[in-house]
A and B are shown apart, each in its own frame.
Chain A
Amino acid sequence: MSKNRKPNIITSNGLTRRATLKGMAASAGLMAAPGFVRYAQAQTSEPIRIGFQCHRTGIGAAYGRWYERVTNVAARVINEAGGINGRSLEIIIEDDGTDAARGSEVLEKFANQHKVDLVYGTLFSHVVVGSAPMAGELKIPYYVVSEGYHVASGQMNRYCVQPGITDVKAQVRSMAPWIAENLGKRVTLIYPDYAFGHDHRDFFGPAIEAQGGEVIAQVPIPPTETSFTRYFPQIPSDTDVIYHVMVGPAVLTFVKEMGEFFGTGGPQLFGFIDSLEAVDLNSPGLEFLEGSHFWEGMARYVQPEMPDYEIAYREAVGLDESGASVNDPKDVSTAAHMFGCWETLYVIKRSMEACGYRGPQDRTSLIEATEAMTEMDAGPEHPQGRKVFNGKIHQVFGEQSISQVRDGKLEVVHRTSIEDGLYEPEADYTTMSF
């Protein structure tokens, strides 16, 4: 111990009656001050418990694996920095099986058995939509990282929020200006013939028309299809751009057959990386994607002049230069989406700090604190970039990346503005009762 440092043990001789009375009076005054009680009670040693609804099994398992890693790292980093309101963060994980019914059951388990403060997760829209009614009934905050338009559409309830990842409507709208300017204005859409594909169809058409372009053909692919060659003749010969959003195990076949159909020529290609999340771009059959463009929520590959906070985030979650795990180069990440877990946990942290969150009795205050958020600056808490939160529709808006496949790697060639993706709100959760 330094000689100059004061001893931190007060001896009996150091405490006089006068000093004691002064201290007690000061303490009483402080405790009577507005807000103190809440603050004092927040200093409990009880951890804040967050139930993480995770796709550990089922079709979303690859996403779930990376969502879980990012969540655990973010929680550790938050705890190392002092936690939330002086309390540590505890993540409780349950597998939702990427199933809507199980998702709802898991949410009930979090609320009634684990007694968590709030529930957080998950990616696949059907799990989120299936779980939302239970969140409303149990009156438990449900922070989702799903990128679906379901939250912003207003069909959920006041307890459902999406503050860490942009929604598909904003993503699609923000792509249209760049596509029209750089790839062409006559677009053919190839999409899976169910809700995910329909979202792209319904949102992209008006967006490209606003840029003076048009969708000249739509090619819906039935969900059970395994061979795609017979659909390619439906693509008009004067197509400038093929916009494709195929997902699932058949995507490799889709790309391979498209390559065989068009050979070295053909229209420009633009796709959403959702199709190839957790898939190595150097997988056999994907050579045809060389030169094509993709939407990326966040860059998979290390880019030149990447900000320090983004590099720090990548190191923390264990990404190598190619966006795979530092422990296994074959374990490719879901980089374009999983940052949403990191950012959502920080939004929860900020919201809890803003409302002086103590426990479940403050759940409505927590939602109101999140609703009150607006600007989120890029930085360690928001490594994907700056964001703007719209409290009325419980949805965040952000910048997007457009990347090109060059030498088997994705290089970011354009960054959209937040304004590119903004749209008129269709709901107002703040007018709904709790």
Chain B
Amino acid sequence: MTRAGARNLLLHGAVLVLLFALNFVLPEYHRGILSRVMVLAVFAMGYNLAFGYTGLLSLGHAMFFAAGLYGAGLTIYHLGWSVWPAFGAGLLAGGVVAAAIGFLALRTTGVAFMIVTLMFAQVFYLGTLYFTTYTRGEEGLILPQASRKLELPGAELILTDPAVRYMTALTLFAAVLVGIFLLVRSSFGRALVAIRENEERMRMLGYDVFANKLLAMIVSGVICAAAGAAYAVLFGYVGSGFAAIQYSILPLLWVLLGGAATTLGPLIGTLFMFYVIDIASGLTRAHLLVVGIALILVVLYFPKGIAGTIRERWLRWLQ
């Protein structure tokens, strides 16, 4: 392993150890917040794979998050499934939706790709409202507290317990972070970056660009679905709001803030955004104005996102 690789390994390991330690030292409220942030950061990491590494500016990733959310939530609510198979159903739903949408949308590029993904996401959102009989639409469904238990060999984890919830969110976050870390260093990951930089050249070199982009889209969709499914079982609510356009814009914002094509950027962006809203709303009614100003300042001083700019200016080895 190169020296840069060792440094990255050390940094990512340190982040995971820090997150583990925070469970024991953070005040209750902030621990709860970090549980949410880690789940949403997984969503952002999934988005980052498509946008940051592959250059696919999607405006429809809410449908992948929501596919996981509904895949897990509806099977628990209507079919009485336990958490493991329901989580699997969420991943499957995300993978199938991503494969189908990717197969169609990847025939376009640039602005057309943005519009096509946006339209498909809107169809998905309206679908959740149309089938209100099953989804309760915008009002949503509450997953019974008794159903939110994770069966393990010799143990049963109660996901409504704050410490268990934190550790479950951390486990998912760590698994996806390690997965992304390895993926972007693999030949597939490098091919994605190369496609982002010069698609024509990759095609000329004999790479199947469409197949690589489709695979990236599917992996991205499954990761986002994992976040959605985790959100459903950890926080017990499933609603159409998570399929709305807002949840397609948010991961884009988190990734841009944290740093596109950086492995830790999504976590930083999600955390930053969450606390800016949380703190500003406690200070003033016009908190959205404060959030807007904060975003402008970040864009001015960190044009490539926080982690992206740190990499460009100071830590060239940062992955």
Contacts and interface: CB of A to CB of B under 8 A. Distances in A.
Interface of A: 56-57, 94-95, 99-101, 104-105, 108-109, 112-113, 125-126, 129-130, 132-134, 136-137, 148, 150, 155-157, 193-196, 198, 222-224
Given A101-B242, A113-B29, A223-B126, A129 B140 contact: yes
Contact of B142 (A101, A156, A193): A156
B181 interface: no
A284 B30 CA distance: 49
B111 to A, nearest CB: 22
B141 to A, nearest CB: 8
A104 B32 CA distance: 11
Interface string B29-44: 1001100100000000
B60 to A, nearest CB: 16
B29 A157 contact: no
Contacts of B142: 129, 132-133, 155-156
Contacts, number: 97
Contacts of A195: 132, 136-139
Name the interface size band of chain B. 35 or more
Given A100-B239, A130-B239, A95 B287 contact: yes
B138 A126 contact: yes
Nearest to B128: A194
B210 interface: no
B160 A137 contact: yes
Chain A facing B: main interface SS: helix
Nearest to A128: B139
Contact of B32 (A57, A112, A132, A133): A112
A156 B142 CA distance: 7
A194 B281 contact: no
A112 B130 CA distance: 37
B107 interface: no
Contact of A193 (B29, B32, B130, B242): B130
B29 A126 contact: no
Interface of B: 27-29, 32-33, 36, 122, 126, 129-130, 132-133, 136-143, 145, 160, 235-237, 239-242, 278, 281-282, 285, 287-288
A126 B130 contact: no
A191 B271 CA distance: 40
A136 B160 CA distance: 10
B143 A108 contact: no
A137 B288 CA distance: 30
15 contacts: A95-B285, A99-B241, A101-B237, A104-B235, A113-B27, A126-B138, A126-B139, A126-B140, A126-B239, A130-B241, A132-B237, A134-B235, A136-B145, A193-B132, A195-B132
The 10 A-B residue pairs with the shortest CB-CB distance, nearest first, are A133-B236, A112-B29, A113-B29, A195-B139, A194-B137, A195-B137, A112-B28, A125-B139, A194-B129, A130-B237
Contacts of B32: 108, 112
Contacts of A148: 139
A94 B283 CA distance: 10
Contacts of B285: 56, 95
A161 to B, nearest CB: 16
A150 B140 CA distance: 10
B27 A112 contact: yes
A132 B288 CA distance: 26
B140 A105 contact: no
B139 A109 contact: no
A134 B160 CA distance: 9
